[in-house]
Amino acid sequence: MAFLELAALAKTYPDGTRAVKGIDFAAAQGEFVVLLGPSGCGKTTTLRMVAGLELPSAGTIRLAGADVTALPPSARDVGFVFQFYALYPHLTVAENIAFPLACARMPKHARDVAVANIARRLGLTGLLQKKPRELSGGDQQRVALGRAMVRRPAIWLMDEPLGTLDADRRLAMCEFLREQQLAARVTTLYVTHDQEEAMRLADRIVVMKDGMIEQVGTPLEVYDEPATLFVAHFVGSPGMNFLEGERVGAGAVTLGVRPESVRVAAEEGPAGDGGTPALKGEVVLDEYSGIARCLHVRTDAGTLVARVAADAPTRLGARVRLEFDPARLRRFDRASGRRLS
């Protein structure tokens, strides 16, 4: 049975802006669900409605079997982490983290153990007696995370909690979040515009655009079987390549192929597997990422990106032939942007 259930949920602001246009989805108990989309897609508004910080214009929210649509935040048993941390400036780091436990009347000894544990996991042990103003922004953010995660509410709600951290801390924090969540089995709703973060964290991803849901699926489902052109482009770094030009029956079709499914061969080399579609072009950009390279190849059908091994021999300016495995091609209806089977 669904633990969190949104039904026909909508939010229209007084100025007429339709931030969320009637969305439905459900999360199981213990599931980690990421709301993913660009700025203005309605993901934060959705989260704030679940939190009780915004009142829906229509629809219902059910949490743990109860209709909470009209309940105030304090009556919902939710734990928040926001991008802009708000710590109590007069309390130490340890007191800040222990605060929700003190409110829940946990005995002092148990509180100290819980705080010490989470501080160790977050690398805050040496900072426990400091005041927030003595900490860097990144450290304050970690204290806010610790404070939110020390307690186990019905649901954790997180709005870009890693937004202000440097890239190298983000990955460690992602793993910390995931491990804590797996251990605590607290249902989590997490908002981000960063598809890599979404892939890394989610059991399921809800991809949003213009106040609507484009697709709900596991990270691999949205990556491998995108429901729309938008999802195909938005998920993946870089996103799917698109090729226009094939006509099947009534409508125009757009073909999509992931950069790692584009093979790069010498222009005049031996042909690939029989019948493999191919395109010729010139390498106009070579992006190194350490683990791999992305070659941008200009062809008659537009510029395509191929992900190749870091030590692949192809160089900038080379003439190449691009080959596609037909099994890895995805077909979309160009007019509607929807995936064709």
Q: How far is CA 77 from CA 186, 210, 227, 255, in A?
A: 12, 29, 34, 46
Written as six digits, the tokens of 187 are 């249902």
Nearer to other proteins, 166 or 244 (CB): 166
Burial of residue 268 (number of CB atoms within 10 Å: 0-12, 13-18, 19+): exposed
Q: Which of 11, 76, 209, 296 binds other proteins (CB under 8 A)?
A: 296
DSSP string, 189-227: EEEES-HHHHHHH-SEEEEEETTEEEEEE-HHHHHHS-S
Q: Which of 109, 274, 288, 315 binds other proteins (CB under 8 A)?
A: 288
Check binding of 245 to other proteins (CB under 8 A). Answer: no
Q: How far is CA 340 from CA 23, 140, 245, 336, in A?
A: 23, 47, 15, 10
Check binding of 219 to other proteins (CB under 8 A). Answer: yes
Say if CB 238 and CB 259 are below 8 A apart: yes
Q: Which of 17, 38, 66, 86 binds other proteins (CB under 8 A)?
A: 38
Give CA angle at 201 (142, 178), nearest 5°. Answer: 55
Q: How far is the CB of 287 from other proteins (least distance, A)?
A: 4
Check binding of 26 to other proteins (CB under 8 A). Answer: no
Q: Which of 39, 103, 133, 268 binds other proteins (CB under 8 A)?
A: 39
Nearer to other proteins, 9 or 324 (CB): 324
Check binding of 143 to other proteins (CB under 8 A). Answer: no
For other proteins, which stretch binds (CB under 8 A), given 71-79, 110-118, 176-184, 325-333?
176-184
Q: Which of 17, 129, 289, 336 binds other proteins (CB under 8 A)?
A: 289
Q: How far is the CB of 103 from other proteins (least distance, A)?
A: 27
Check binding of 122 to other proteins (CB under 8 A). Answer: yes
Please give the sequence-ordered ranges of beta strands (E in DSSP) within the chain, or none if there are none.
2-12, 18-28, 32-36, 58-63, 66-67, 78-81, 155-159, 187-192, 204-209, 212-217, 241-248, 251-257, 262-266, 278-288, 292-299, 302-309, 319-324, 330-333
Q: What span, in angstroms and rounded, lies between the C-alpha atoms of 133 and 12? A: 38
Q: How far is the CB of 296 from other proteins (least distance, A)?
A: 7
Residue closest to 118 by CA, chosen among 81, 149, 79: 149
Count other C-beta atoms under 10 Å from residue 249's C-beta.
5
Q: Which of 16, 89, 107, 290 binds other proteins (CB under 8 A)?
A: 290
Count other C-beta atoms under 10 Å from residue 186's C-beta.
20
Q: Which of 258, 321, 334, 339 binds other proteins (CB under 8 A)?
A: 258
Q: How far is the CB of 180 from other proteins (least distance, A)?
A: 11
For other proteins, which stretch binds (CB under 8 A), given 54-62, 81-89, 237-245, 267-275?
237-245
Cis preceding-peptide flag for 238 (omega within 30 of 0)? yes
Check binding of 125 to other proteins (CB under 8 A). Answer: yes
Check binding of 137 to other proteins (CB under 8 A). Answer: yes
Check binding of 17 to other proteins (CB under 8 A). Answer: no
Nearer to other proteins, 194 or 333 (CB): 194
Check binding of 328 to other proteins (CB under 8 A). Answer: no
Written as six digits, the tokens of 249 are 């029956």
List residues binding other proteins (CB under 8 A): 38-39, 120-125, 136-138, 166-169, 171-172, 175-176, 178-179, 182, 193-196, 199-200, 219-220, 223, 234-239, 258-260, 284-285, 287-292, 294, 296, 307, 310
